[in-house]
Structure 1
Amino acid sequence: MTGTRDLSVVIGLGRSGAGAARLLQSLGDRVVVLESRSDAELERQADELGRQGIEVHLNHGLDTSDILGLGPQLRRLVVSPGIRWDHPVFEALRARGVTVQGEVEPAWQASRPVPWIGITGTNGKTTVTHLVQHLLSSAGMDVEMAGNVGQSAAETVLRRRASGEGLPQWMVVELSSYQIESSAAVAPRVGIWTTLTPDHLERHGTLDNYRSIKRRLLERSAVRVLNADDPDLRAHAASWDAATWVTAGARREVAPGIEPDLWIEAGRVWCDRDGQQCDLMAADALAMPGSHNLQNMLLAVAAGLEAGLDGPAMERALRHFPGVPHRLELIRTWQQVRFYNDSKATNYDAAEVALRALEGPLVVLAGGQAKIGEAGPWVQALSRSARAVVLYGQARELFWQRLQEGGYPGRSESCAGLDEAVPLAAALARDLGCTGVLLSPACASFDQYTDFEARGEHFRRLVAEL
């Protein structure tokens, strides 16, 4: 019996890889997981999957012959997002007729015919994903949120298929560039593109390549929702044959060639539906700070309209939105100083947005694993809003250099990690008369943490212990 089943090989025993392995097994495949590392936690996961009938090989590198040797029934290779899509082994397997796909694609195929709302962008996609899920669920719809936030799409689909509930009405899925480039079949009912600034260039090489990957998701979407306030998206507006545009400003102030379908005037959100302008809701319905969150709100509202929601229902839901963990999240007020967790800010642009959104003066904690990008505007924002910057982690020497080159006038301190940085930032806030301490790293977390969520939770614990 084993020999007659299709073989799916999953590369990477992360959260998404394990979810994909379980889903494929539930669909009848024989599944083998290959993981290049080994530690106590991976061994525990391997044992658990082994008890479920999934074969796991730890300390196993990528080798074409080894993978082909796993069985003649090899039909599919599922790749975790952290592995380069153009790896030579994957190219060799494609040439042999093996389907190579990302971990999102099995979830897409197993969730047919559920409509997806796919959300991508350099910054803002997590907030928009949470907002869309909140709008739909507040209206009584059965909706699941998954992808690059919370549970993986495969884990979510597996859970729903195994439950008595069946599949949901909607899937709201955050998708990174890594996931999009490896999931060519995913074609959402609604695609949302929040922003585009340089990111992940160490993986994608050029901004043009990064942009083209993001664009593929929208091109495959039945409805395309785009942010007219983003300079890069606006600059390429003429290349779209059909799109729904939103702006947090007045309709007449948008660049020529763009006719926004959602806009804000006189404190109200307006929409254009089939040539009819209508007053949809109050523009202050969402309490999150910053003009970028008005853009995020409008992108989510556009998805809500496509799902059949009306303005009053969405306004009520937005007024009760609890916020997004790790994104400008107010953790605590201690000795009149507010502590904000913005661990999701993993690049310069996201960190700059946070600085614009909050009233200063601030003490900012920044550091981690640095990315390729333009640091100048971030340093300028620090110069305006931060009286002190506490640098930590692998990037602290590089960031020190960036601050000096950019003429940052405030105080700079350096620490190994957050254990020392948080109490130091609290003391600096008191001594310098600052109103807030902001963790906004402008870096990936992988030098010291498994992901940005783990970094944010560590910050939360340290702030609670002050």
Structure 2
Amino acid sequence: MSPTEAPAAPSCTVVVGLGRSGLGAARLLHARGETVVVLDSGDTAELRSRAALLAAEAIPVHLGVPLSAEVFQALPMPPAVVVVSPGIPWDHPVLEGLRQQGVQVVGEIVPAWQASRDVPWIGITGTNGKTTVTCLVHHLLEQAGRDAPMCGNVGVSAAEVVLQRRLEGGPRPDWLVVELSSYQLEAAAAIAPAIGVWTTLTPDHLERHGTLAVYRGIKRRLLEHCRVRILNADDPDLRRHAASWDEADWVSAGPREALPAEVDPCLWIDREGLVQGRQGPLFPASALAMPGQHNRQNLLLAVAVGLHAGLEPAAMEAACRCFTGVPHRLERVRRLNGVTWFNDSKATNYDAAAVALQALEGPLVVLAGGESKQGDARAWLELLQERAAVVVLYGAAREEFAGLLHASGYGGAVHSLEGMAEAVALAAELAPAAGCRGVLLSPACASFDQYTDFEARGEHFRRLVLAL
């Protein structure tokens, strides 16, 4: 610094939100030498426990404070960077005001990206299917001897993984397999994974993003920044925009000749059930035992990643044969009195719930409800008519869903209850009497009316079913 230069004014990085991702971001930023302050509007026992963990690392936390301009003005030093958790709307007026003042506002995934630039990322996004693809890609790489932690919107936050591996002396991974939601991506324009995967695109989170075009643009921006782009040619929306991509690797769970001329797939499944590549057959698609056409699409997306990562087809086939699936996504819980129970708590919208119905044979008892979302329910309602003998509704959306079923002319029995415990008990009684093959929890709703997240909802369902 020259004698005439004034020292930079002290500033801090503020992390807003003390959920799993905010906790990881705060610890990572602090370990990198930044002055960190954490704010959260809640003040629960769980948040106090997390605050105590951070206080032990000399990271101050302020609980029970609303997101307001006054809170930032009251800080002992001005923020240079504000890191927001995914649950906070990106267009919140306070965040907009901070941007206008020149404060950098980023999402919690950004510190992890900045601290791991020498590790290639595999970024996986999409409306539905991204968790299964993320888990399967992680499984394929790990079974082949690659060190490839799974993180992001599933499991552990990316910041926590990077902190452990890079700043706490852990080994450098070969890859980071990162599930990325639209909430994370809208706040992380700069991240550019080596490999990007786009599973599906159907209307979701429109109450936050406003329009399908905005939602699509958030996903697309990620793929445009990736060196390798892997897209699902069986998704109607993605296929409709195929001509707009100058370079992409397309996959299809159907035969190659059924695709439009503008889609030249790198992987497909032939009429004999073999996964085919441009150099010839790889292995039978039946190596992955998970039910449903959507899981064949997930298989091909993961195999395309594996090929770019240097995996041999035989190694991927062996890994697929020992893949047990994903918790809360068409998870088989148990068989009791001739009825199989499935936990599909991850189905948080109409399209995801329709996929589950397509994958299973009826007749079924279907449990649905929670906090409803905007979306087109027609395909879901048609499949309920076709495969559900009984629908048991619970939670905040039960009256709304009862109205949808009535208006659609649904011919089965409909029951409406307060909570999951009553719904499971009634389903156990009704399924054998109605001659149903299975009971399917596939809520078509967010979980936030009664649970912290879809995992908590699925765990509660599983406990109830195992206790029958």
* 2:409 pairs with one of 383, 401, 407: 407
Question: Do the aligned partners of 1:270 and 1:280 also contact (CA within 8 Å) in 2?
Answer: yes
Q: Which residue of 2 aligns with 1:286?
A: 288
Q: Which residue of 2 aligns with 1:215?
A: 220
CA distance in 2 between counterparts of 1:445 and 1:201 reads 17
5 Å-filtered alignment, 1:429-444, equals 429-444=431-446
Instruction: Tell whether 2:40 aligns with 1:35.
Output: yes
Q: Aligned-pair distance for 1:256?
A: 2.1
Structure 1 unpaired stretches of 5+: none
Question: Do the aligned partners of 1:337 and 1:436 also contact (CA within 8 Å) in 2?
Answer: yes
Instruction: Tell whether 2:71 aligns with 1:59.
Output: no
**Equivalent position SS for 2:299:** helix
Q: Which residue of 1 aligns with 2:131?
A: 126
- Name the aligned partner's letter for residue 60 of structure 2: E
- Name the aligned partner's letter for residue 230 of structure 1: D
Q: Aligned-pair distance for 1:184?
A: 1.2
CA distance in 2 between counterparts of 1:286 and 1:66 reads 52
> Larger deviation: 159-168 or 302-311?
159-168
Q: Which residue of 1 aligns with 2:203?
A: 198
Instruction: Tell whether 2:277 aligns with 1:297.
Output: no
CA distance in 2 between counterparts of 1:195 and 1:410 reads 30
Question: Do the aligned partners of 2:10 and 2:77 also contact (CA within 8 Å) in 1?
Answer: no
Q: Aligned-pair distance for 1:68?
A: 4.2
* 2:190 pairs with one of 185, 191, 195: 185
CA distance in 1 between counterparts of 2:210 and 2:440 reads 31
**Equivalent position SS for 1:132:** helix
CA distance in 2 between counterparts of 1:179 and 1:419 reads 33
Question: 1:16-63 CA distances to partner (integer Å, 9 max, x unpaired)?
Answer: 111111111111111111111112222222222112111111111122
**Equivalent position SS for 1:442:** coil
Q: Which residue of 2 aligns with 1:81?
A: 86
- Name the aligned partner's letter for residue 456 of structure 1: G
**Equivalent position SS for 2:72:** helix
Q: Aligned-pair distance for 1:162?
A: 4.1
CA distance in 1 between counterparts of 2:321 and 2:168 reads 32
Instruction: Tell whether 2:143 aligns with 1:143.
Output: no
Question: Do the aligned partners of 1:342 and 1:440 also contact (CA within 8 Å) in 2?
Answer: yes
Question: Do the aligned partners of 2:65 and 2:71 also contact (CA within 8 Å) in 1?
Answer: no
Q: Which residue of 2 aligns with 1:45?
A: 50
Q: Aligned-pair distance for 1:159?
A: 1.8
Q: Which residue of 1 aligns with 2:364?
A: 362
- Name the aligned partner's letter for residue 268 of structure 1: L
Question: Do the aligned partners of 1:5 and 1:30 also contact (CA within 8 Å) in 2?
Answer: no
Question: Do the aligned partners of 1:144 and 1:170 also contact (CA within 8 Å) in 2?
Answer: yes
Number of residue pairs the alignment of both structures matches: 460
CA distance in 2 between counterparts of 1:169 and 1:118 reads 14
5 Å-filtered alignment, 1:161-310, equals 161-265=166-270, 266-272=272-278, 277-310=279-312
- Name the aligned partner's letter for residue 268 of structure 2: W
Q: Aligned-pair distance for 1:353?
A: 0.3
Q: Return structure 1 stretches of 4+ with deviation > 3 angstroms.
A: 3-6
**Equivalent position SS for 2:347:** coil
Question: 1:370-389 CA distances to partner (integer Å, 9 max, x unpaired)?
Answer: 00011111011001111000
Q: Which residue of 1 aligns with 2:98?
A: 93
Question: Do the aligned partners of 1:6 and 1:29 also contact (CA within 8 Å) in 2?
Answer: no
**CA RMSD of the aligned region, Å?**
1.2
**Equivalent position SS for 2:99:** helix
5 Å-filtered alignment, 1:363-382, equals 363-382=365-384
* 1:391 pairs with one of 369, 390, 393: 393
Question: Do the aligned partners of 2:331 and 2:344 also contact (CA within 8 Å) in 1?
Answer: yes
Q: Aligned-pair distance for 1:430?
A: 1.1
CA distance in 2 between counterparts of 1:21 and 1:5 reads 18
CA distance in 1 between counterparts of 2:16 and 2:155 reads 20
CA distance in 2 between counterparts of 1:394 and 1:50 reads 37
Instruction: Tell whether 2:114 aligns with 1:112.
Output: no
Structure 2 unpaired stretches of 5+: 1-7
**Equivalent position SS for 2:15:** strand
Q: TM-score scaled to structure 2, two decimals?
A: 0.96
CA distance in 2 between counterparts of 1:211 and 1:349 reads 16
Question: 1:146-165 CA distances to partner (integer Å, 9 max, x unpaired)?
Answer: 01101111111112224433
Q: Aligned-pair distance for 1:65?
A: 4.3
CA distance in 2 between counterparts of 1:154 and 1:35 reads 18
Q: TM-score scaled to structure 1, two decimals?
A: 0.97
> Larger deviation: 137-146 or 37-46?
37-46
Q: Aligned-pair distance for 1:75?
A: 1.7
